[in-house]
């Protein structure tokens, strides 16, 4: 029988529930357990696909094409849990499902209410998570977004209270993650906010079994732990300190020292041998011990919000591990290149340039200028999704002489639409969940950088886009612009261009897919790994390495 861990948050949002869940999942997997993971989000959007990355952070895409919360990226980077559209559910999605059932008459004329209909739908999503799993799931770890006390979270918490009774209390464990602030004037950590947060949770009918205390740079002392345990009715060993730790991937090791996994397994009555964390420990030491440094310019527009490109940031950390170096990733605002600042001035001190994904017209011409600088000055270039499209436009303009070449997304009237709408996208009006999403097959050409990076003839990578390379321009770009198509997706009447490269360049590679979504610290993504390697070589040539 599957056992369940439910993680809630208190005091403030963004307290780190996702990393706590991912860390616990990693520790349980190390002990031989099969896990599943899920995130409930209280917002009314059906999914985060239409939300502004500056406000919400990146949209993480699963193999089956679900647009999900960025916390699922943490789950993937830390664990081997299979993530799918079952792994993320929102208030909007829950209510939408209930309303559709009501319209079909499935409630047989009854008055539809939050209890039992909304809570029953939430509980059904929990059961669905493990119902069709290929292997028996030992532990399902389920995170509830938001903060205890938020009105939006109440139906989810009520559903969890009911679910505990449905399956029996011994099969359930509640982990509460709270903030324990340091008050400088008093010179100490204050546990009162945590006490109030737990009281709010208990008022709903949920008693936490484990409390994880975020303490910033401070470490909780034994007296403070006992105080939290006493006032919150939790055993001393179930109070886990969570001070800020760098690097991120050392956090599970900190929890292991405090026996978080032992405590959870004891509460769930699951016997499991101690796991071998030597591989993870070696990875963390390698990350900490890197002496070399490589500077990468990430040219984009969401430059003041790290979470907008969370998976890309982490993929570069992983690539640094693979190359025994620290990747210093600096976000460069592409709009400045449209306002008179030359790319040569802003980018001259970087060893590599990456142009990542994005939507909208803002900063587009600046990105194209950055691509041109990279190509002409032999600076390693890596394009991701929109970054590939910008590379194609740049080649068409400056190597084929097509001055108005563009994407029809940006310029619907362009006479040379080198990037155009995917055929299946024509006629679609709704924005949510309608892009080309999820994993697709990509066939690699031998003798290319992409083939050398992956060491395979066929790969699968995840997509999130509406526009594609226009094959009408394929031959001219290959013959006159030095374009190399190194990866394609077979699609009936024509192949979709998935990866492009440029001849006579140290390393110039761009993909229509999002390779960052599959990168992990133990298995760095091949294109990121090789791009960083090429950037390291350039740093040596320029005397910076």
Indicate which residues carry an active-site annotation. Answer: 385, 514, 516
Sequence-separated (6 or more) residues with CB below 8 Å from residue 60: 67, 68, 69, 70, 71, 72, 73, 76, 311, 517
Sequence-separated (6 or more) residues with CB below 8 Å from residue 275: 27, 29, 30, 31, 32, 261
117: DSSP letter: I
Q: Partners of 494 in the beta sheet? A: 491
Q: Which residue has the tokens 């696909």?
A: 49
Q: Per the structure block, which two tokens stand in for 146? A: 């938001």
- Residue 504, sorted as left (phi over 0), alpha (psi -120 to 50) or beta, turns out to be left
CA pair distance 384, 391, nearest whole angstrom: 10
CA pair distance 279, 28, nearest whole angstrom: 15
Q: Per the structure block, which two tokens stand in for 131? A: 């119902």
Pairing of the two strands 3-10 and 139-144:
parallel
Q: In terms of Cα–Cα distance, which of 199, 162, 160, 144 is closest to 8?
A: 144
Say if residues 29 and 276 touch (Cβ distance below 8 Å): no
Q: What is the 3-state secondary structure (H, E, C) of 403-468?
A: CCCEECCCCCCCCCEEEEECHHHCCCCCCCCCCEEEEEEEEECCCCHHHHHHCCCEEEEEEEECEE
Q: Per the structure block, which two tokens stand in for 168? A: 């029996």
Q: In terms of Cα–Cα distance, which of 406, 397, 381 is closest to 467?
A: 406
133: DSSP letter: -
CA pair distance 357, 433, nearest whole angstrom: 17
CA pair distance 142, 174, nearest whole angstrom: 10
SS3 content of the chain, % helix, strand, coil (to 5): 45, 25, 35
Say if residues 51 and 88 touch (Cβ distance below 8 Å): no
CA pair distance 398, 393, nearest whole angstrom: 9
CA pair distance 58, 310, nearest whole angstrom: 6
Pairing of the two strands 494-502 and 508-511:
antiparallel
Rg over alpha carbons for the chain, rounded to the nearest Å, is 25
Q: What is the distance between the terminal CA atoms of the chain, rounded to a whole angstrom? A: 54
């Amino acid at each position: 029988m599957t056992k369940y861990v439910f993680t809630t948050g208190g005091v403030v949002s963004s307290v780190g529930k996702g990393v706590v869940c991912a860390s616990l999942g990693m520790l349980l997997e190390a002990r031989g357990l099969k896990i599943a993971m899920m995130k409930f989000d209280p917002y009314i959007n059906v999914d985060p696909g239409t939300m502004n990355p500056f406000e919400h952070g990146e949209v993480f895409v699963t193999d089956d094409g679900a647009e999900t919360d960025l916390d699922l990226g943490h789950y993937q980077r830390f664990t081997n849990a299979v993530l799918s559209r079952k792994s993320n559910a929102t208030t909007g999605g829950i209510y939408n499902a209930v309303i559709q059932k009501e319209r079909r008459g499935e409630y047989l004329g009854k008055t539809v209410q939050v209890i039992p209909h909304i809570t029953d739908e939430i509980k059904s999503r929990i059961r669905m998570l493990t119902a069709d799993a290929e292997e028996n799931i030992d532990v399902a770890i389920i995170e509830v977004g938001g903060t205890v006390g938020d009105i939006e979270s109440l139906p989810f918490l009520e559903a969890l209270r009911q679910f505990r009774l449905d399956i029996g209390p011994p099969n359930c464990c509640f982990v509460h993650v709270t903030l324990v602030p340091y008050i400088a004037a008093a010179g100490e950590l204050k546990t009162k906010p945590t006490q109030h947060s737990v009281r709010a949770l208990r008022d709903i009918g949920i008693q936490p079994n484990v409390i994880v205390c975020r303490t910033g740079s401070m470490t909780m002392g034994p007296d403070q732990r006992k105080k939290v345990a006493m006032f919150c009715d939790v055993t001393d060993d179930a109070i886990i300190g969570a001070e800020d730790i760098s690097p991120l991937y050392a956090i599970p090791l900190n929890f292991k020292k405090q026996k978080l996994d032992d405590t959870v397994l004891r509460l769930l009555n699951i016997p499991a041998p101690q796991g071998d964390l030597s591989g993870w420990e070696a990875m963390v030491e390698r990350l900490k011990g890197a002496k070399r440094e490589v500077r990468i310019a990430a040219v984009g527009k969401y430059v003041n919000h790290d979470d907008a490109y969370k998976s890309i940031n982490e993929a570069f950390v992983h690539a640094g591990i693979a190359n025994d170096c620290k990747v210093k990733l600096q976000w460069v605002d592409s709009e400045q290149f449209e306002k008179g600042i030359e790319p040569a001035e802003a980018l001259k001190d970087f060893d590599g340039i990456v142009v990542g994904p994005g939507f909208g017209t803002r900063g587009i011409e600046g990105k194209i200028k950055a691509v041109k600088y990279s190509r002409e000055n032999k600076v390693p270039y890596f394009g991701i999704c929109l970054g590939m499209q910008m590379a194609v436009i740049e080649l068409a303009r400056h190597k084929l002489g097509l001055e108005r070449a563009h994407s029809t997304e940006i310029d619907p009237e362009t006479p040379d639409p080198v990037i155009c709408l995917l055929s299946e996208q024509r006629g679609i009006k709704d924005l949510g969940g309608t892009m080309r999403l999820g994993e697709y097959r990509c066939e690699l050409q031998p003798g290319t950088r992409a083939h050398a990076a992956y060491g395979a003839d066929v790969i699968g990578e995840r997509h999130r886009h509406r526009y594609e390379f226009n094959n009408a321009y394929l031959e001219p770009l290959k013959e006159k612009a030095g374009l190399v198509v190194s990866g394609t997706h077979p699609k009936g009447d024509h192949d979709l261009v998935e990866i492009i490269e440029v001849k006579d360049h140290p390393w110039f590679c761009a993909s229509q897919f999002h390779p960052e979504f599959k990168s992990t610290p133990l298995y760095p993504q091949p294109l990121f790994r090789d791009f960083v390697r090429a950037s390291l070589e350039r740093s040596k040539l320029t005397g910076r390495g």
